[in-house]
Amino acid sequence: MKYILVTGGVISGIGKGIISSSIGTILKSCGLHVTAIKIDPYINIDAGTFSPYEHGEVFVLDDGGEVDLDLGNYERFLDIRLIRDNNITTGKIYQAVINKERRGDYLGKTVQVVPHITDAIQEWVMKQARISVDDDGVEPQVCVIELGGTVGDIESMPFIEAFRQFQFKVKRENFCNIHVSLIPQVASPLTHEYIIHDPVIMCRCATVLETSVKEKISMFCHVEPTQVICVQDVSSVYRVPLLLEDQGVVDYFCQRLNLPVEMRSRKMLTKWKEMADRSDKLLEQVSIALVGKYTKLSDSYTSVIKALEHSALAINYKLDVKYIDSADLETSTLKEEPVKYHEAWQKLCSAHGVLVPGGFGVRGTEGKMLAINWARKQNKPFLGVCLGMQLAVCEFARNVIDMPEHNPGQLGGTMRLGRRRTIFTTRDSVLRKLYGDVEHVDERHRHRFEVNPELKHHFAKEGLHFVGQDVEGERMEVIELQDHCYFVGVQYHPEFTSRPIKPSPPYFGLLLAAAGKLQSYLAKGCRLSPRDTYSDHSGSSSPDVDISDLKFPSL
């Protein structure tokens, strides 16, 4: 097993996640099986209780793990499936050690940060690195580990010490450190910033560094010039793997870690270049109104935005997301801040499609239902996800079938999390066709409330059909409104499984409808389903799969 540790300095949030994902991508393009681990030094057990304004969205994995959004980057870039133990937190480590102490596993010894906490970190990494993340079940060969925060943080110190020891435990030829640091100006070399010996230094900067600057960094940091990599701002994240490849990162890893790599044509990386080139050349624009309550921070909807981008790229359109705070659409805002109210409605009315994503709490729900009502009446393409789907049902019940209000009482219980199966109940479903006319789909969930199945016949009589249910037929999973260009709601979160070359079908349908191309796509029989844009139809994400020409639907 080869381990690549990615650390950061100066400030947090400078791109460690994208760089970690990009490293994994170029190694996977070489035919290697790659896994990834994210370490978050906070004391929380997981990200499940975070506000989106705290760390961005909560990403949900197949096993129901609620984790940091960087694991979403790993899955999208590498086309892999991770589990909750791929996200390590201080809380998880201390909980595991304390549980062992309570059981008497330490035989009465004093339990300390060194060696007990540091040992627990190393054991966790070594165990998790060997868990397959590909559909073929093959054990990974390379594990990319991202340490969140910066190396100077007090909370990161046990992890830094653990990896200082770890490099000697697994031997030099099996361990490498990449240190990412901001280079705001030449006058600030990186002396003494990193902890692990002999790292690759990735310099985040606005523009390409001059050779003299790279040589200066090399000299002050006691590393070879080839170990100083420039990661300047680029037009899209698709270009980051290409940027690293062009600077010889693969060649360095092959030499440093003795990787079993054949220097052959890397078709997977070729697809990334085609995506990047396509993204840069897009001219036509499609706009989607994202109506939510966390719109002040785009990271709150990272996976949603990525799913929209994947679908827009597939139909050769540039995406324009219009962020609308749902509360701004409500009549109370008209009274208190009329300018904000009219600006919000102007954004909504000028969009080509409407998306109401998941969320929690009562605030802003009335505004979301007003947006849904407008999309339904104006025949505008609409997609409701999780809470968005539930509110679409509520809006329809209020305004079409005059159903009385229902008080759900207290929340109680825990959420329904992770991958679950949805069975399509009719062959006429638009969403079923977009998925490739399959009988069922497996998607990830994160919700507490559900639609009451006893009421579904009331909706069906008025044209709102529940075309997808869970295996038992007790939970309503998919709604579609008849005689509408595209009015779809899903209880699950399809954005979590969207990939750059395999866009999520519900989002793909929204973008097709917003661009006015859904009917022509359906008329052609959806021969190129979004889930089949890879030439291999086995569902395998193994790097050995031959990825032939990138072909999106011809529209």
3 state SS for 374-433: HHHHCCCCEEEECHHHHHHHHHHHHHCCCCCCCCCCCCCCCCEEEEEEEEECCCCCHHHH
Selected residue with higher pLDDT from 275 and 55: 275
Q: How far apart are CA 290 and CA 348, in angstroms?
A: 9
- 425, HSE (Cβ side, Cα atoms, 13 Å): 18
Q: Is residue 287 packed enough to be buried (19+ CB in 10 Å), middle (13-18) or exposed (0-12)?
A: middle
> What average pLDDT does the segment 516-539 reach?
61
Residue pair 33/542 in contact by the 8 Å Cβ criterion: yes
For residue 336, give Cα distances in angstroms to 327, 365, 424: 12, 18, 45
Is residue 550 included in any domain, yes or no?
A: no
Q: Is 33 a catalytic residue?
A: no
Angle at 371 between CA 367 and CA 372, to 5 degrees: 115
Residues 461-520 have pLDDT tens digits of: 999 999 999 888 888 999 999 999 999 999 999 999 999 889 999 999 999 999 999 998
Residues 148-195 have pLDDT tens digits of: 988 888 999 999 999 999 999 999 999 999 999 988 755 555 555 556
Number of domains in the chain: 2
Q: Which of 460, 458, 511 is nearest to 486 (CA)?
A: 511
Q: Are residues 378 and 234 in the same domain?
A: no
**pLDDT value at residue 265:** 54
Q: Are residues 245 and 324 in the same domain?
A: no
Range from 137-146, 192-201, 426-435, 464-473 carrying the lowest mean pLDDT = 192-201
Element (DSSP H or E) covering residue 307: helix 302-314
Q: Are residues 270 and 286 in the same domain?
A: no
Q: How far apart are CA 529 and CA 512, in angstroms?
A: 12
Specify the CATH number for the domain of residue 106. Answer: 3.40.50.300
pLDDT > 70? residue 547: no
The SS3 call for residue 539 is coil
Residues 35-60 have pLDDT tens digits of: 999 999 999 999 888 888 777 889 99
> What average pLDDT does the segment 262-290 reach?
83
> What average pLDDT does the segment 426-442 reach?
92
**pLDDT value at residue 548:** 32
Is residue 42 included in any domain, yes or no?
A: yes
**pLDDT value at residue 264:** 58
Q: For residue 358, what is the DSSP state?
A: -
DSSP β-ladder status, 142-147 and 440-447: unpaired
Is residue 182 included in any domain, yes or no?
A: yes
Q: Are residues 264 and 328 in the same domain?
A: no
Two structure tokens written together for 364: 């802003």
Is residue 536 included in any domain, yes or no?
A: no
Q: Are residues 245 and 309 in the same domain?
A: no
Range from 177-186, 274-283, 416-425 carrying the lowest mean pLDDT = 177-186
**pLDDT value at residue 263:** 60
Q: How far apart are CA 59 and CA 66, in angstroms?
A: 6
Range from 201-210, 302-311, 349-358 carrying the lowest mean pLDDT = 201-210
- Which one of the listed residues 203, 221, 386, 394 is annotated catalytic? 386
Is residue 309 included in any domain, yes or no?
A: yes
Is residue 545 included in any domain, yes or no?
A: no
DSSP β-ladder status, 87-89 and 66-67: unpaired
pLDDT > 80? residue 528: no
The SS3 call for residue 364 is coil
Question: Residue 218: how many CB atoms within 10 A of its CB?
Answer: 17
Residues forming a β-bridge with 339: none
pLDDT > 50? residue 530: no
**pLDDT value at residue 554:** 40
**pLDDT value at residue 415:** 76
Q: Are residues 261 and 292 in the same domain?
A: no
pLDDT > 50? residue 411: no
Tokens 């000028």 correspond to: 350
Q: Are residues 363 and 469 in the same domain?
A: yes
**pLDDT value at residue 347:** 96
- Which one of the listed residues 310, 443, 493, 526 is annotated catalytic? 493
Q: Is residue 197 packed enough to be buried (19+ CB in 10 Å), middle (13-18) or exposed (0-12)?
A: exposed
Output the pTM of the full model. 0.88
Is residue 554 included in any domain, yes or no?
A: no
pLDDT > 50? residue 534: no
pLDDT > 50? residue 209: yes
Selected residue with higher pLDDT from 405 and 297: 297
pLDDT band at 414 (very low <50, low <70, confident <90, very high): low
DSSP β-ladder status, 34-40 and 87-89: parallel
Rg (C-alpha) for the chain, rounded Å, is 25
pLDDT band at 536 (very low <50, low <70, confident <90, very high): very low
**pLDDT value at residue 215:** 87
Q: Is 386 a catalytic residue?
A: yes
**pLDDT value at residue 412:** 34
DSSP β-ladder status, 66-67 and 228-232: unpaired
Q: Is 222 a catalytic residue?
A: no
**pLDDT value at residue 532:** 38
Average pLDDT, the chain: 87
Answer with the one of 222, 256, 276 that is the final residue of a domain.
276
pLDDT > 60? residue 535: no
Q: Are residues 247 and 362 in the same domain?
A: no
- Domain span including residue 361: 282-407+414-524
Phi-psi region of 516 (alpha: psi -120 to 50; beta: other; left: phi over 0): left
Angle at 77 between CA 17 and CA 486, to 5 degrees: 115
**pLDDT value at residue 549:** 38
Residues 348-388 have pLDDT tens digits of: 999 999 999 988 888 889 999 999 999 999 999 999 999 99
**pLDDT value at residue 190:** 54
Q: Are residues 397 and 431 in the same domain?
A: yes
Is residue 256 included in any domain, yes or no?
A: yes
Q: How far apart are CA 274 and CA 55, in angstroms?
A: 32
